[in-house]
Every structure is written in structure tokens, then in C-alpha cells.
Structure 1
Amino acid sequence: MKDIYIDDLMGFDEGKGFDSFFLVLAKQQRTTKQNKPYLSLTLGDKKGQIEGRVWETGDPRIAKDFERGDMVKVRGSVSRYDDRAQVKVDQLRKALDGEADKMDMLPATTRDVGELWKELENTVAGLTNPDLKELLTALLGDAAISQAYREAPAARQLHHAWLGGLLEHVVSLLGLADRVVAHYPMLDRDLLVTGVILHDIGKIRELEWETAFDYTVEGVLLGHIQIGADLVEKTIASLPGFPDRLRTLVLHMILSHHGKLEFGSPKLPMIPEALVLNFLDDLDAKMQAMASEFERSAREGRAADELTGKVWALDQRQLLNTKAWLGKNE
């Protein structure tokens, strides 16, 4: 039975001990500056993630007893490094069958997935381009695809990294897209909406989320951009009379959505809708990363108007919650 979660640990005083179950998200053997070995871990549950360390004084058998993706029982205490909570692991073993529940381990969206899916369906139903509507209906009407689309995280770690994260991210982008279309009448709304819904569809096969968030072999070798483009192209091929020019535009939306070659896109955005998709995708990902960091900072005991620690996902910059900071001085 799990009764201590990551967010509980964030509020613990330094040195306070605990026993609880966690999911091993990362495991790596490292050495200190003094060339002493230690085991670096990332532990997680549905409430968050925390770094863990098994120092050279720990039991050397620990590292052999488990692998990434295993549920483990940890006995340790809370320490702090670089102003962040961290777990000093004293004892660790793989959880026995039935001892821990995986539903306690994987973070999930706090939004209602059924309502999010309904928003997506309503958007598709409102399209005026019959070919794009037919394409989206064919893809989202596939039982396996729709189930995976509802469940998948949007990423392994960086943003919307929770069950339902992909769907939550896409619905957020749909709202942003409508606001931009209202401002720029040159945009083809139906094409932009289609790009929003399909740009990350390859993640349903790039990622796995049964016991932990990780990349599939297909995901490592091909990546979600290629996987998504292939999936969409095969679906288009099954739709008689789908216009060739529209096919080219839809595929371009998927292939260019990372915006730069060095970010993984094989093509730069060359049409207005693709450019907008790239910027909105990046905006939503970064804003969610900021929101998550403010929540993490609060769990670690910082006041809302304090700077956060350095954020790896945002180029090691510190963040400031402006509303909280201004509000304290009013």
C-alpha cells in the first residue's frame, strides 16, 4: 500500500526518513568528482518525479536487483542538492507481485479525457473541407488509434508527460489555433486544425506507457515525425479521390512542425499554416513546462514569488511567477 508520494517528499524536512514504492524512470552508474562510484536514479509516481542517489557507502547489491521500468520499494531520507529535494537511498528492492499498484505510479491528466475527446470530435465535425474531415474521421475512428490517442503522453519527460497528455496538448492547441485564425484571415483554418490534430500522431507508436514512459524500438529508429507521416500517408492512400495537392500540404504540416532541421524536422515550415503550427506547438509546450515547474517549486517549499531552481527543459534558466511576484508588492 502506497501512502507517501513524491509531492509529500518535496515538503519533508532534510534528513527525514521514509519507506514507499516508486517507479524507476532512469538508472545510471556515475562517479563523483573524487572518482567514487554512485548510482543515479530518477524515481516517479503519479504525483511527480524526484532524483535519487545510492552513494558509494550503500549496499553494492542494490544496483543489480532492479532495472528501469521496475516498481521498487525504497527506504531512504530526503536531502537537498542545488536547492532541490533529492532522495538518499539506504535500501531498495524490487516490489513483489501485487505489492504495488502501477496506477499509483504513472501521472495522468487532471482533465476529463471524455470531455477532451468530445472537444476533438466536435472540432472535426465542424470542418468544412470534406476531404480533411474524411481523413480525420478515418484515423480517429480506428479503435486502436483512438484508444492510444486518448492514453498517450505527449512526451517522455519534457511537456505534458502524463497519461492523456497528447490529447490535452492537442485540445489546447486547437483553442490557440482558432484565436490565431481569427487574427490572420490568410490562414486556412481546416488545414491548420488538421495539422494540429495530426502533427504528433506518431507518438502513439513512438512512445510506450504500460509501466513507464519510454521510447519503443520503432520510436528510437524512426521518430514520431516519420511514423506519423507514414501513418497519415497510408490512410490517405485508402481514401479514393483525395486531392494530391492537399496530401502534400498535410504531410508538410507533419514533417515541418518542429520548425528547424536541428530540432528533427526534415523540412522547414514553408506555408503559413505550418509556420503557425510550429510556433503554437512550441508555445504550448513551454508554457506547460513553466506551469509544471511552478508547481514543482511549490512542492519543494518555495514561496510562489521566489525564483525557481534552474530548469533543464528550458535551457537551465530560472523562472519567476510574475503574478505572484507582483501581487506580493501590491
Structure 2
Amino acid sequence: MTISQLRQSTGTDVLAASFDAQLERKAERETKTGKPFYEITLVDGTGDMKLKVWENRPQFRALDDIPDGTLLRLSGEWTQNQYGIDSAKWDMRLLNESEGKDFLAGDPDTRKKQDGDWADILRMTGDIADPRLHALCAEFINHYGERFRRSAAARKNHHARRGGLVEHVAQMMRSAQAICSVYPKLNRDLLTAGVLFHDCGKMWENNYPEAGFTQPFNIHGEMLGHIPLGIETANKIWRDLKEKPESQQWENLTPDSEDVQLHLLHLIASHHGTHEWGSPTLPRTPEAMALHYVDNLDAKYEMMSEGYESSPELAPGIQERKFPLPASLVTPLAAFPRKNESADSETEPESIDSPLDELF
């Protein structure tokens, strides 16, 4: 099982299962009575979980000799309550070399999804008509593609996993292009490039090593943050492209190249939407406003999806609030099947007489 599958499958009933994970970190804690225990954080390509290891468990002493980053297989009888996944009976062992190699490759479903998302990003950036933005995106992908593909979109809250940035950007890009069909005056090329670059600073703020699912801290990400780093990255590539002979063809293009560069940097700078959320400036163009809302929508939708998977049930159809969402989650309304889309029947539902029929 993956951690995500374990989270979805466990409840109050005991589930016997095994899963592989990387020990991200172990923290020594004490109970109210002063008894020591470990709280360990386990991660894989689908998410993370915390597990308490009590002093009277054999694993407690074993953890003294296991460094962070170790690959483990945990087997046991698992349940889930308001505090998360737990087990009264479990054990662990180190993964052998073959098992570790398979684990670090990621689970097949996640790899397949992220490969599809990456293909969509390549397709949509490849369709950019503006030669400057097209060249900028191509150079970025050529230079940073592998690093970009192993970055997360956040340290927690949403898409906080290896490759999560690709999932986030691909979905935002699809949403942005759909919005452009509704608001045709939006600059599709600029918005597509803005989506690609808006979180590119996460390559330092939320990056993963070439092998592993533990997200380290980076001094540049801590001291600068992803927005200044994203602006600098886009500027550096733009300056490098201007040194190439083919950029001479840009001189007579409309709109002016400096304006294109400035508008793209504005999208990166303003995408959080408010000063309180970390943007050095506020959205001042339709593309900047669209980017901000598409970003916010995808992040919130992902948080809700994760909440439905992991938040404890408070009452039938109501689940505990998942931070930073504003309120408890309520089970969404199932869509009414459209014609030719019913999974259970190919016939239309029977018509029901209504008192309103006589009025219309």
C-alpha cells in the first residue's frame, strides 16, 4: 500500500496491511507524566503520516540507530481516529536494495499521472505563439525540467509531495486555457507562461533530492522565498536569451519585448493576491487576476480533496475542518447523470407528475 491508500482504507475497524515509507524525521517527545516517546514522520510519493512510538515498544530502541532518510517497511494492524493513523500491533524492517529501488521510483499510479501532467505542460507551452515567451518557456524546461519535476508545490497544505508542483501547474494551465475560451481578451500566451513560472521558485523552497521523498530545507528558499526566486529565475533566462543572435528578431515585434518581460514578472510578483499573503505587489492586469484565482482555486480544491480522504467524520456527511480551510467539510452533492452518462442504466428516468406541470 501507499500512505494515501492506507489513509483511505483505514477506519475504526482494524486493517492488516504493509506499506513502504521513508523516515523523514524522528522527534523525541514526552508524555504529561514525563515518559519519553518518538513521533516519527513517514513519507512516500503520495503523502506523509505521523506515528507515535511508545517507550515500551521494541521499535523505540531500534529507532535510536536508524537515521533520518532510512527506507522502511511497516506491517501491522492499522486503525484511524481523530488523531490520525495508529496501531497497537506493528513492526518494521529496513528495505533491501531491490525494494528500495522500487520504492524510490514512486508508485505506478502517481508516476502515470505526473507523466501525463508533464506531457500537458510541454504541449501547452509548446503552443505559445509569442516567440519570446515560447523561447523563455522552452529554455526554462530544458535547463530546469528535472529539478522542476521533483519539486513540491508546498511544504504542507496542498500538493506537498514529490512531483506535486507538476500536478499543480498542469491543472492550473488547463484551467487557465479554459478560462481564456470564456474571456477571449485574456492574453493566453502570457497567462500560460505565467502559470509555468509563478511557482518556479519552489524549486529551491520545496525541492526534493534526486533519490528520496524527504523535503529538505534550502537556505535560499528560507531567506528569499519563492516569489523573489521566481522573478530572478525568469529574469536570468530572459537576459541569457537576449544574448543569443535569434533574439534580434524580437526588436520589431509588437507588443514591445520589455513590456512582455514586465507583464510576466508582474504575474509572478502578484500571484498571491495580497500583501498579507506575501505578494510584493497586487494584481493589476486581467491576466494577473486570473492567475491569482486559478492558483487559489486549485490549491483549495486539492486541500478539500485531501480533507475528504483524511479528516475524521464528525457526523454523517460532515468531516472535521482541514487547516487552512475555513470550515468543516460536507460531503459534496453527486452530479445528476446526463443523458448517455448514466452508469447504472441506459434508459432515462421515469417522468414524475408534478403540481407545477399545470403552470408551465
What TM-score results when the alignment is normalised by the length of structure 1? 0.79
Q: Distance in 2 between matches of 1:324 and 1:212?
A: 35
- Which protein has the larger Cα radius of gyration, Structure 1 or Structure 2? 2
Contact 1:229 1:251 in 2 (8 A): yes
1:245 to 246, 256, 259: 259
Secondary structure of 1:267's partner? Answer: coil
Q: Displacement, 1:229? A: 1.6
Q: Distance in 2 between matches of 1:160 and 1:11?
A: 22
Q: Distance in 1 between matches of 2:48 and 2:112?
A: 20
Q: Distance in 2 between matches of 1:313 and 1:25?
A: 23
Aligned CA-pair RMSD: 3.5
| Aligned residues with identical type, % of pairs | 29
Contact 1:14 1:77 in 2 (8 A): no
Contact 2:45 2:110 in 1 (8 A): no
Q: Displacement, 1:281? A: 0.6
One-letter code of the match for 1:61? R
Q: Distance in 2 between matches of 1:158 and 1:284?
A: 12
One-letter code of the match for 1:307? I
- Equivalent position of 1:319 in the other structure: 329
Q: Distance in 2 between matches of 1:26 and 1:314?
A: 26
Cα-to-partner distance string for 1:251-307 (whole Å, 9 max, x where unaligned): 12112222233333232323221222111111101112222333446xx8x7xx733
The reply to whether residue 270 of structure 1 matches residue 257 of structure 2 is no
Q: Which moved more, 1:124-133 or 1:84-93?
A: 84-93
Q: Displacement, 1:5? A: 4.4
Q: Distance in 2 between matches of 1:248 and 1:147?
A: 27
Q: Distance in 2 between matches of 1:182 and 1:325?
A: 24
* 1:114–1:319 CA distance, 2 compared to 1 (3 A): same
Secondary structure of 2:29's partner? Answer: strand
Q: Displacement, 1:190? A: 1.8
One-letter code of the match for 2:272? H
Q: Displacement, 1:18? A: 6.2
Q: Displacement, 1:110? A: 5.4
Q: Distance in 2 between matches of 1:79 and 1:115?
A: 33
Q: Displacement, 1:185? A: 4.1
One-letter code of the match for 2:118? W
**Residues 89-238 of structure 1: pairs in structure 2 closer than 5 A:** 95=94, 98=97, 100-104=99-103, 106=106, 109=110, 111-142=112-143, 145-206=144-205, 207-209=207-209, 210-217=211-218, 218-238=220-240
Secondary structure of 1:120's partner? Answer: helix
Secondary structure of 1:109's partner? Answer: helix
Q: Displacement, 1:41? A: 1.9
Q: Displacement, 1:233? A: 0.7
Q: Displacement, 1:111? A: 4.1
Cα-to-partner distance string for 1:27-83 (whole Å, 9 max, x where unaligned): 222233444432212223345433211124335534422243222344654344426
Q: Distance in 2 between matches of 1:130 and 1:293?
A: 42
Unaligned segments of structure 1, at least 5 residues: none
The reply to whether residue 66 of structure 1 matches residue 76 of structure 2 is no
Secondary structure of 1:25's partner? Answer: strand
Contact 2:136 2:238 in 1 (8 A): yes
Secondary structure of 1:101's partner? Answer: helix
* 1:47–1:98 CA distance, 2 compared to 1 (3 A): same
One-letter code of the match for 1:11? T
Q: Distance in 2 between matches of 1:31 and 1:89?
A: 21
Contact 2:26 2:38 in 1 (8 A): yes
Cα-to-partner distance string for 1:61-107 (whole Å, 9 max, x where unaligned): 344222432223446543444264324576556x2652742543656
Unaligned segments of structure 2, at least 5 residues: 251-256, 338-360
Secondary structure of 1:104's partner? Answer: helix
Q: Which moved more, 1:122-131 or 1:66-75?
A: 66-75
Q: Distance in 2 between matches of 1:184 and 1:19?
A: 49
One-letter code of the match for 1:321? T
Q: Distance in 1 between matches of 2:112 and 2:65?
A: 37
2:294 to 256, 270, 280: 280
Secondary structure of 2:281's partner? Answer: coil
Secondary structure of 2:156's partner? Answer: coil
Contact 1:42 1:49 in 2 (8 A): yes
- Equivalent position of 2:50 in the other structure: 51
* 1:21–1:189 CA distance, 2 compared to 1 (3 A): closer
Q: Distance in 2 between matches of 1:159 and 1:41?
A: 21
- Equivalent position of 2:319 in the other structure: 308
Contact 1:109 1:162 in 2 (8 A): no
* 1:8–1:115 CA distance, 2 compared to 1 (3 A): closer
Q: Displacement, 1:121? A: 2.7
* 1:86–1:267 CA distance, 2 compared to 1 (3 A): farther
Secondary structure of 2:153's partner? Answer: coil
Contact 2:10 2:79 in 1 (8 A): no
Q: Displacement, 1:200? A: 1.4
Q: Displacement, 1:234? A: 0.6
Q: Displacement, 1:193? A: 1.2
